[in-house]
Amino acid sequence: MDYLEQSFSVKFEYKVHFTSGLFKDENTLFSRFLREKRTAGILQKILFVIDKGVSDAQPGLAAAITRYFGVHEGTTLAGAPLIIPGGEAAKNDPAFFDRIVAAIDEYGIDRHSYLAAIGGGAVLDLAGYAAAVAHRGIRHIRIPTTVLSQNDSGVGVKNGINHFHKKNFLGTFVPPVAVFNDIDLLTTLTDRDWRSGIAEAIKVALIKDAAFFDWIETHAADLVGRDLVVMQYLIKRCAELHLEHIAGGDPFEQGSSRPLDFGHWSAHKVEQLSDFGILHGEAVAMGIALDTVYSMMSGRLAKDKALRVVSLLKDLGFAVTHPLMQVSGEDSPVLKGLQEFREHLGGRLTIMLLPDIGKGEEVHEIDVPLLKEAGAFLVEHERI
């Protein structure tokens, strides 16, 4: 049989920057990045998409960006920023995707130019997806504004929107050209949004770094008290662990192994069942609690260690369960999350459980009656 075979690799490289006051006149980090990427003789433009929640909380942001590009010349600001509603609404309504690609077309944002998104994970996911498919890929810059997006989704390579009432049904694996984490952008978060992102740090600590879990336990009160220095360390260490994982053997998740989704099979479903009234980090905290207790009940994890996890989540102010999380039988709505997770993985169910704090173990089957017991255990501990 005649055939031709082709094989090639593409190197991806980007930096995650940590700063404060990104768009202050005296902060040259952003302008230096753009200058270093410039090609002589080619007009470089940048279009901003801003999360409405961020725009409302920081009403001077758009003006600061305009002033910044007046002070630091070389890159042309393409029109006024697009303001897009934050949260899952951004990913649920295709009209917002259409608005972004229409603006990319209107302002002539090509492969030498940039789409920069400022916002929480949902807006970053949406803008990243638009950037990935417009012109088969334009340069995308992420400027995360929540704890969750600075330590997790914003530093990764995934983009997407929801479709068919399923989370991230449409999406791409395309890295940004750079990520800029500005600690000042966290100061206007609500307590609920501040806390929500800590769940992802607990997740990655539980499966990869026991010492980091110990650190979070030690600094729980500081995190609740909104200590910026402590939060900055948590974000940087969490981002570092995520980047180390991405640089491993399966950055685009071609296989069925997704260790960074520990606690997520139920979390994604509960978000959807609550009509996204439960925040992603809140759902992840419940999912972590459920899978941790299931790990204990299935003989993998010692009880004292499981209780440490549940206690830490509660100390940080998280609920560890919810009526939507409960398993009453094989037809419980949350269990549909297992099937959807299986489909998302390509047909084989792979769930991460804990044999120890700091160590994950993959399993391919879940005992539903035992899962029901784990849920009941958490109902009792929620009351304590």
Question: Any idea of the CA torsion for 205, 176, 150, 96, to the nearest 10 degrees?
Answer: -120
Residue 364 has pLDDT above 90, yes or no: no
Mean pLDDT of 165-171: 86
Higher pLDDT, 105 or 1: 105
The reported pTM is 0.89
Mean pLDDT of the chain, nearest integer:
91
* Cβ contacts of 255 within 8 Å, gap of 6 or more: 346
For 275-307, letters b (16+ CB in 10 Å) and e give: ebebbbbbbbbbbbbbbbbbbbbeebbeeebbe
- Which pLDDT score, from 0 to 100, does residue 256 have? 47
CA distances from 277 to 73, 154, 274 (A): 43, 21, 5
- Which pLDDT score, from 0 to 100, does residue 282 have? 96
SS3 352: strand
pLDDT tens digits for range 131-150: 999 999 999 999 999 999 99
Higher pLDDT, 365 or 33: 33
pLDDT tens digits for range 214-233: 999 999 999 999 999 999 99
DSSP class of 81: P
Counting beta carbons within 10 angstroms of the beta carbon of residue 221, is it exposed (0 to 12), middle (13 to 18) or buried (19 or more)? exposed
Amino acid at 198: I
Which tokens go with 340? 């959807």
Residue 384 has pLDDT above 60, yes or no: yes
What's the rounded Cα separation, in Å, for the pair 264 and 284? 6
SS3 160: strand
Mean pLDDT of 306-316: 97
Which residue ranges form the domains of the chain, and what is each CATH number?
A: 15-186 (3.40.50.1970), 191-383 (1.20.1090.10)
Q: Place 15 in a pLDDT band, splitting at 50, 70 and 90.
A: very high
What's the rounded Cα separation, in Å, for the pair 193 and 202? 15
pLDDT tens digits for range 329-360: 788 888 887 777 777 666 678 889 999 999 99
Amino acid at 239: A
